């Protein structure tokens, strides 16, 4: 059991990118599935599937990372965890972070669910800043 499952999720993706793996397996939870859906909506991953793990109760998310064969680069350059269990970072609509002047996304956990900073601005809600992705 990990103390910070979101950091573990981001680290597994970061390690797969640095090892040039095209597919990464992550233990599933509701939060991780919502994070994965946001990444797919914004075009950072190619797709994902949820499989039941026969040896365990917890299912697995298989994430296909987006990779450009010609430039040999992944769509995700950097994943950065912002709010941590020891120090939570919250934001309002007025102080919403902009990642690389709008080129990246900040993923927030709001009362309306997990969404990007741009969606949170449109819905006029603030929340906990989970991570930056670009």
How far apart CA 20 and CA 5 sit, in angstroms, is 22
Residue 1 is predicted with a pLDDT of 60
How far apart CA 91 and CA 121 sit, in angstroms, is 11
In the chain, what are the domain boundaries? 5-133
The per-residue pLDDT string of the chain (134 residues; one tens digit each, 9 = 90 and over) reads 678 999 999 999 999 999 999 999 999 999 999 999 999 999 999 999 999 978 778 899 999 999 988 988 999 999 999 999 999 999 999 999 889 988 999 999 999 999 999 999 999 999 999 999 99
CATH architecture, range 5-133: 2-Layer Sandwich (3.30)
Q: What is the pLDDT of residues 65-84, one digit of tens each?
A: 999 889 889 999 999 999 99
User: What is the 8-class DSSP label of residue 101?
Assistant: G
Predicted TM-score of the model (pTM): 0.92
Rg (CA), the chain: 15
Find out whether 117 and 97 touch, Cβ atoms under 8 Å.
Answer: yes
Q: And the tokens for 2?
A: 């990990």
């Amino acid at each position: 059991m990990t103390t910070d499952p979101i950091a573990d999720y981001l680290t597994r993706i970061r390690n797969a990118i640095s090892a040039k793996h095209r597919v990464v397996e992550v233990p599933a939870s509701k939060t991780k599935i919502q994070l994965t859906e946001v990444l797919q909506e914004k075009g950072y991953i190619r797709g994902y599937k949820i499989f039941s793990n026969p040896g365990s109760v917890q299912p697995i998310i298989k994430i296909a990372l987006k990779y450009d064969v010609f430039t040999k680069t992944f769509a995700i350059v950097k994943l950065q965890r912002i709010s941590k269990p020891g120090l939570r970072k919250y934001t309002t609509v007025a102080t919403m972070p902009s990642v690389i002047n709008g080129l990246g996304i900040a993923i927030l956990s709001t009362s309306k669910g997990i969404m990007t900073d741009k969606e949170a601005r449109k819905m006029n809600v603030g929340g906990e800043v989970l991570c930056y992705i670009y």
